[in-house]
Amino acid sequence: MEKPLITIPERDAPVTGMPPEVKSRFDKIDNILIAVVASVLVSLVAVIISVIGLFLDQMRYNNAAYSEYSGKIESVETTQKINEEFLRQVQELSEQNKEQLEIIKKLLEENYEIIN
């Protein structure tokens, strides 16, 4: 009867009798597995950093857009106040013009009566 290459040990006992060729293959698989896990972890960290970067960039863009919007609103409000003041002045001048026209009419009528 031939002697087996690998003997299965009892429970919780280390594996013995493993040929060096098999052990080197297991070591290579272990190294590859560790490399894959490490690359997945690095990729996960990179994704988390990019998501945080996008979030911060979006907040900065929203802040800039809000500042620009606030500036435009302030500009519109200032323009409205200026327009309201201008309209008030025009209305005052219009009233003065009406009063002056009435005075001119009266004077013209008086002059017409004096002449005739």
pTM summary value? 0.45
**81, 87, 89, 93: CA torsion to nearest 10:** 180
pLDDT tens series, the chain, 116 aa: 677 777 666 666 555 566 778 778 888 999 999 999 999 999 999 999 999 999 988 888 888 778 888 888 888 899 999 999 999 999 999 999 999 999 999 999 888 888 87
Tokens 């003041």 identify what position? Answer: 85
Sign of the torsion formed by the C-alpha atoms of 11, 13, 19 and 23: positive
How many Cα neighbours within 13 Å face the side chain of 46? 6
